[in-house]
Structure 1
Amino acid sequence: EFVRLYGGEELAPLRIQYKDYAVWQQSEAHQEWMQRQEAYWLNTFRGELPVLDLSTDFARPAVQSTAGDTIEFILEREVSERLKELAAQTGSTLYMVMLAAYTTLLHKYTGQEDIVVGTPIAGRPHAELSNLVGVFINTLAIRNYPSSDKSFLEYLQEVKEHALRAYEHPDYPFEELVEKLNVARDTSRNALFDTMFELKTLEQREFELEGLTLSSYPLDNQTAKFDLSLEAIEQPEGILCSLEYSTVLYKRETMTRLAQHFAEIVRAIAYHPQQPLAVLNMVTDEEQEQLIYGFGEVGVTDVAAVEAGALF
């Protein structure tokens, strides 16, 4: 819109304004809809709430810090294409496949079989809202149950179902959910989940303005809103991943290794999605060489255990 206005064009007037949306939010029909959404989320998070028990390099401070850093890595094109084919074959989406892969990684690292990952949602379900100025973004807390005996295909179907149901109930504010659940507040961490995942599908466009040259400018991000945040975006050369992490909890080399393990798991999923989660390999070639040649006495059983993720 800025480019069009700069070029002298006129934009079509908006049919509704944000105040119209606010009035609609207060309507009786919307309140009834919100009650149904509330019931879904309260049911999803009934019982004991899991806390991600991911080992840290440093002791967790009493008050959460926003100091962070980011590591970028890419999932090569062939693997990315196989993931999209897997999504098409299973009636899921690339987001669901990637979320299943990410929670598989967290399961292997922690051994936990009840994991909550946050994900942002645009909050603009109606076409009338697409060009309306205002903040509509909400956060969905998606709960999944990875276990070592499930095949990835089986687990993906569960993730698909949970994601679809979450996206059918996108309007209930995350802050209200936390309040209704009466979550014990801990100043050292976020409420309900400690990690987020987002697959961005932003349209990559080149803008041209007479007399101006436009190019993207990389931001040097030194903050982290959560312990871990994984962001993925499709590029011509593959899927570009950005891993944002808290530097008061993790060393850079630890996060580099975690990124490598995620890439290995994704590769294993792309070629062997029928395998159980326990069998999906996340050990890099370099680590396998160290295990085989670096320690001398490591046996076949030990190597197999590491390949299954049991020692990580």
Structure 2
Amino acid sequence: VASAGFDVAVEVPIRVRLLRVSEVEHVLVFVVHHIAADGFSMGPLTRDVMVAYSARVHGAVPGWAPLELQYADYAIWQRRVLGDEDEPDSLISRQLGYWQGVLDAAPERLDLPMDRPRPAVASNTGASYRFPIDAGLRAAVVAVAQERGVTPFMVVHAALAVVLARLSGTGDIAIGTPVAGRGEQALDDLVGMFVNTLVLRTSVDSGESFEELLARTREVDLGAFAHADVPFERLVEVLDPVRSQSHHPLFQVVLAFQNLERGALELAGLRVDEVDIEFTQAKFDLQLTISDPVDGSEGYDAEFTFATDLFDRATVVSFAERFVRVLGAVVADPAVVVGDAPWLS
């Protein structure tokens, strides 16, 4: 049910199945195309299902609160705010100009040490490797962020850039990152696709200190976040990089901070548990996701999702070990020279 694709030209981009395991146990499956919903949408979608269930078991019609906005309102607003690309003073023209400058002459791709040659057409099959970042290391990341006037995301971004630079042998590192795109409270209750993707291009000099790299990473990230309104697909059309079915355009590695609140499902006469579907797709060569632990502990949960076309699990495990080792070294001593940060056992 989860792995079957959608033809959005002919079918509604949501699939729902109720599977009967026994008389007292069922699995409710929701599969939603990304054109119609993002990760944040799962909160209001789940809430609406709970409201409907509670009403129906009592023989009533669901009483959903009217929405302040519809997704169509957001789409119209976005077009109006962005303006016309033919107008040099429009928001979209200014932001496209920024990205054209930032990404000028960017490398076609970032090649990491691979276990197999890159196929001509990516299969998008993937696997994942989860690993913990302990409470002490997370506390050190937060402390360095506070001392340097940056965010924990920026600290992790800079550390990941160091690892990617040393793995690839290049100092020009482009990393993609998703942004929620919900800048107004009125959008919180909407099910829809608001997420955009940004390209964070950072130069890494092995002879500089980590604190110097971190200061530059701050400027890179703030600049990207301030120009986050241009839809990524439009950016690709304008920049017109060499297109290939073997890799993602503009970046092949993604860093995501997953800080969505996990809701508890409480329904009268029903115990509800969330079930993760073990179905992994690799949209990119490598994606690092950092999130709060499900068990409520004080560290981070980290996960590398990787393209099995390119990498074996053992290789990605080594990437994770080196990332944790470098992250620990640079937050323990931000003055450390990037090229001297220990990354081998």
Pairing 1:124-163 to 2, within 5 Å after superposition: 124-163=182-221
Paired position in structure 1 for 2:79: 26
- Indicate conservation of the 8 Å contact 2:145/2:151, yes or no: yes
AA of the residue aligned to 2:228: P
Pairing 1:144-293 to 2, within 5 Å after superposition: 144-235=202-293, 236-284=297-345
Residue 255 of structure 1 aligns to a residue in which SS?
A: helix
Within 2, Cα distance between the matches of 1:67 and 1:127? 36
Within 2, Cα distance between the matches of 1:81 and 1:168? 28
Within 2, Cα distance between the matches of 1:23 and 1:91? 36
Residue 118 of structure 1 aligns to a residue in which SS?
A: strand
Residue 278 of structure 1 aligns to a residue in which SS?
A: helix
Cα displacement (A) at 1:30: 3.8
Cα displacement (A) at 1:194: 0.8
Write out per-residue CA displacement over residues 131-168 of structure 1, whole angstroms, 9 at most, x where no aligned residue. Answer: 22221111111101111112111111111111111111
AA of the residue aligned to 2:66: P
Cα displacement (A) at 1:53: 2.2
1:15 aligns with 2:68: yes
> Structure 1 segments of 4 or more deviating over 6 A?
none
Structure 1 residues 219 and 266, CA, compared in 2 at 3 Å: closer, same or farther?
Answer: farther
Structure 1 residues 112 and 206, CA, compared in 2 at 3 Å: closer, same or farther?
Answer: same
- Indicate conservation of the 8 Å contact 2:174/2:200, yes or no: yes
Pairing 1:84-95 to 2, within 5 Å after superposition: 84-95=142-153
Runs (5+) with no aligned partner, structure 1? 285-312
Residue 153 of structure 2 aligns to a residue in which SS?
A: helix
Write out per-residue CA displacement over residues 20-56 of structure 1, whole angstroms, 9 at most, x where no aligned residue. Answer: 2222233276442111111111111113435212121
AA of the residue aligned to 2:73: D
Pairing 1:50-61 to 2, within 5 Å after superposition: 50-61=108-119
Paired position in structure 2 for 1:300: none
Residue 199 of structure 1 aligns to a residue in which SS?
A: strand
- Indicate conservation of the 8 Å contact 1:50/1:115, yes or no: no
Within 2, Cα distance between the matches of 1:103 and 1:275? 15
Structure 1 residues 50 and 88, CA, compared in 2 at 3 Å: closer, same or farther?
Answer: farther
Runs (5+) with no aligned partner, structure 2? 1-46, 56-61, 85-89
Paired position in structure 2 for 1:310: none
- Indicate conservation of the 8 Å contact 2:82/2:229, yes or no: no
- Indicate conservation of the 8 Å contact 2:108/2:241, yes or no: no
Cα displacement (A) at 1:274: 1.4
Residue in structure 2 matching 1:40, options 85, 90, 98: 98
Write out per-residue CA displacement over residues 110-136 of structure 1, whole angstroms, 9 at most, x where no aligned residue. Answer: 121111111111111122222222211
Cα displacement (A) at 1:171: 1.3
Aligned-pair Cα RMSD in Å: 1.8
AA of the residue aligned to 1:108: R
Cα displacement (A) at 1:19: 2.0
Write out per-residue CA displacement over residues 267-301 of structure 1, whole angstroms, 9 at most, x where no aligned residue. Answer: 112211210111111112xxxxxxxxxxxxxxxxx
Moved more, 81-90 or 40-49: 40-49
Structure 1 residues 176 and 207, CA, compared in 2 at 3 Å: closer, same or farther?
Answer: same
Within 2, Cα distance between the matches of 1:274 and 1:85? 15
Within 2, Cα distance between the matches of 1:28 and 1:84? 35
Paired position in structure 2 for 1:73: 131
Residue in structure 1 matching 2:121, options 49, 52, 63: 63
Within 2, Cα distance between the matches of 1:256 and 1:85? 27
- Indicate conservation of the 8 Å contact 1:228/1:243, yes or no: yes
Cα displacement (A) at 1:4: 4.6
